[in-house]
Amino acid sequence: MLETARGISAGGIGVFRAGLWKPRTRPGAFEGVGNKGIPMMQQVQTVTGLKVATEVANAAHAQAALQAGFDVVWIGARTTANPFAVQEIAHVLQGTDIPVFVKNPLNPDVELWIGAIERLLESDIRKVGAIHRGFSLYEKNIFRNPPMWQVPIELRRRMPQLPMLCDPSHIAGKRKLLQQIAQKAMDLNFDGLMVETHCNPAAALSDPQQQVTPEALHQMLQNLVIRQLEGDDTDNTTLEELRSQISCLDNEMLTLMHKRIALVKAIGIYKKKHNITILQPQRWDEIITTGLQTGQQMGLSEAFINSLFKAIHEESITTQTRVMNEPEESEES
């Protein structure tokens, strides 16, 4: 711990994170050293001057971290999904100045994430932030936990003053992807990073494949391009012109969607009259196949085309279902 702490401190990093209590999916995995690691963390504080941070999964962890004088705590993804556990932690930390970060839940549920954050804010915890660590999906993916950037973007839209960190280690699951994820987070105006670091990653007791040495971490940070927010002193004429064009196109798209739904409703009326099922798999396959071919010729990604047509198809099914369930008008009416 001291070797790693000294390594990151030499590069100007100010906070040392270590999971004393690590909730694991299955028993038998390394679950942290527990309370006996507290003196080690305090030694890191004393020897290096670094602030120290750890994960708290229940009220007892929060109490121990508070009494030990830890500088930062965070609530992990599994705990975020448990409102009772979050509330108990909030009660222990009520009224304190210790920064408390909340990792997103395992599932891409922004309401659950916001709910956990609100429990802390309502307990008069003054310094609350969020950590984006990606989401668990059943499908295979190049990422350990796919980032699904639209979820933290929505959180930022709804809570714009909330500090937000990105945990590229848990998103990536492997070292070679860390740089691109960290850069993406910076491009999206995240406030910082939480990166797993070890003086000898091969000997780490958990997730060695996603950890980097302090030297590699410093190099990764130096390679980041940190972009500026728009400022009052910036000439944004061109940017505003482009945004104006986008707004016009957005209005055109909504108008087209309105016309499409009107046609979908007419089809629903026809299907109801002729007793035809709503879902026609062959027609749906034709739509998505044609859409993919056309969209890719235009340079659009397959993932975008699939998600776009899936959303349109779901709205079409909903519209036709509503039409099918509408009561028949009587002849008198």
For domain 2-223, the CATH architecture is: Alpha-Beta Barrel (3.20)
Phi and psi angles of residue 257, each rounded to the nearest 5 degrees, phi first:
-65, -40
pLDDT (tens digit per residue) in 141-183 = 899 999 999 999 999 999 999 999 999 999 999 999 999 999 9
Long-range contacts, 194-202 (Cβ 8 Å, 24+): 194/17, 194/74, 194/131, 194/165, 194/166, 194/167, 194/169, 195/167, 195/168, 195/169, 195/220, 196/169, 196/170, 197/4, 197/7, 197/8, 198/4, 199/3, 199/4, 199/7, 201/175
Q: What is the pLDDT of residue 333?
A: 45
Task: Please give the torsion angle defined by the CA atoms of residues 171, 172, 178 and 182, in that order, rounded to the nearest 10 degrees.
Answer: -20
Q: State how far the Cα of 132 lies from the Cα of 172, in Å rounded to an integer.
A: 12
* Cα 142 to the center of its chain, rounded Å: 16
pTM score: 0.80
The stretch 285-305 carries a mean pLDDT of 92
Q: For the chain, give every residue range classified as CATH 1.20.59.10.
A: 237-325
CA distance 266 to 320: 9
**CA-CA distances (angstroms) from residue 192 to 113, 184, 187, 227?**
19, 12, 11, 13
Contact residues for 225 (Cβ-Cβ < 8 A; gap 6+):
183, 186, 187
- The pLDDT tens digits of the residues spanning 190-222 come to 999 999 999 999 999 889 999 999 999 999 999
Q: Residue 234's pLDDT band (boundaries 50, 70, 90)?
A: low
Q: Where in the chain is the domain with CATH 3.20.20.70?
A: 2-223
In CATH terms, 237-325 corresponds, of 1.20.120.160, 1.10.10.10, 1.10.357.10, 1.20.59.10, to 1.20.59.10
In the chain, the amino acid numbered 7 is G
Q: Where are the beta strands (DSSP E) in 94-160?
A: 100-103, 128-132
- DSSP one-letter string for 142-199: SSSS---THHHHHHHHHSTTS-EEE-HHHHHSSGGGHHHHHHHHHHTT-SEE---B-S
Residue 103, judged by CB atoms within 10 A of its CB (0-12, 13-18, 19+), counts as buried
**CA 197/CA 8 separation, integer angstroms:** 8
